[in-house]
Amino acid sequence: MVMTTVTEASGVRVRDICKSFPVPDAPATRRMALGGISFSIAAAELVSLVGPSGCGKSTLLRLVAGLDLPDSGDLLVGKEKIVGPSAERGLVFQDPNLFPWLTVRGNIEAGLVARGVLREKRNEVGEFMRLVGLEAFANAYPHHLSGGMAQRVALARALINHPKVLLLDEPLGALDAFTRMRMQDEVLRLWENRRTTMLLVTHDIDEAIYMSDRIVIMTQAPGRIDREIDIDLPRPRDRTGDSFLRFRGEILEHLHFAGKAAA
């Protein structure tokens, strides 16, 4: 398929980010959620972020999205400091958050409407529906769609803004195992096609190994970077191959979830 526009990806730099929140029971005190995070993502790189629940992964993504501000530290996309939300940084959550009163086409157009560019970009909507394989469902409403289809609409809605960075917060977390594996291939295809810089939060170690160039492991809260692992396997990756399983063992052992068999 020929795409009319090719996105120019940008790298991301996260430098010494600290973020605290008021403690709900004692609003005068604050608890650290991120305790000094630094890492970079190269342009067009796909990096996964894994770590225990509550370690600050979503908080970090919201900071990169510009939806919240850090207490200290710098966030950069390319050479520009992140000071607020921008269509250049797309965010997709576990829940597709589609507008139930709009069709598939309407939902994908919503990003263009919000930016006031629907008139000039309307011809791209069909292209993005094809890209995620939903052209036959243009006039369907969200309640007509399966979970995987709805998530593909959410991806198309983010991609139609040609983001330089795509932030994915457990985007496949609500899907069954088979749909999830199919969707991993879909997301990889979109990534290869668009060459967008991607930061993917996932709890699924296999997903992280299958998809990423690099896995960044965070510690318990307050979140810090524990370790970074380059996944230097050719794609498409074999989930049952020896090197894949070696990465799996290494990461699970590092996270202490390997169970008795590894002892």
Ligand X SMILES: Nc1ncnc2c1ncn2[C@@H]1O[C@H](COP(=O)(O)OP(=O)(O)OP(=O)(O)O)[C@@H](O)[C@H]1O
Note the residues at the interface with Mg ion (CB under 5 A): 58
Shortest distance, position 201 Cβ to ligand X, whole Å: 7
Q: Are 252 and 258 in contact (CB under 8 A)?
A: yes
Query: 12, 47, 50, 55: which one contacts ligand X (CB under 6 A)?
Result: 55
Query: 53, 178, 242, 259: which one contacts ligand X (CB under 6 A)?
Result: 53
Query: 11, 13, 18, 21: which one contacts ligand X (CB under 6 A)?
Result: 21
Nearer to Mg ion, 54 or 133 (CB): 54
Closest C-alpha to 104, from 46, 53, 74, 143 = 143
Nearer to ligand X, 156 or 205 (CB): 205
49 touches ligand X (CB under 6 A):
no
Q: Is 184 helix (H, G, I), strand (E, B) or coil?
A: helix
Residue 98 binding partner per list ligand X, Mg ion, none, with a CB distance cut-off of 5 to 8 Å that depends on partner kind = none
Residue 105 binding partner per list ligand X, Mg ion, none, with a CB distance cut-off of 5 to 8 Å that depends on partner kind = none
Q: Are 184 and 210 in contact (CB under 8 A)?
A: yes
Residue 111 binding partner per list ligand X, Mg ion, none, with a CB distance cut-off of 5 to 8 Å that depends on partner kind = none
Query: 58, 86, 179, 219: which one contacts ligand X (CB under 6 A)?
Result: 58
CA distance 147 to 176: 9
Question: Nearest-CB residue to Mg ion?
Answer: 58
Shortest distance, position 55 Cβ to ligand X, whole Å: 4
- Specify the residue for token string 């068999």: 261
**Composition of the chain by helix, strand, coil, percent to 5:** 35, 25, 40
Nearer to ligand X, 94 or 243 (CB): 94
Q: Which amino acid is at 100?
A: P
Query: 10, 48, 59, 161: which one contacts ligand X (CB under 6 A)?
Result: 59
CA distance 152 to 63: 24
Shortest distance, position 168 Cβ to Mg ion, whole Å: 11
Looking at residues 195 to 254 of the shown chain, list those that interact with ligand X (rule: CB under 6 A): 221
CA 40 to chain centre: 15
Shortest distance, position 65 Cβ to ligand X, whole Å: 12
Tokens of 144: 């007509």
Query: 14, 44, 57, 200: which one contacts ligand X (CB under 6 A)?
Result: 57
Q: Which residues bind ligand X (CB under 6 A)?
A: 21, 33, 53-59, 221
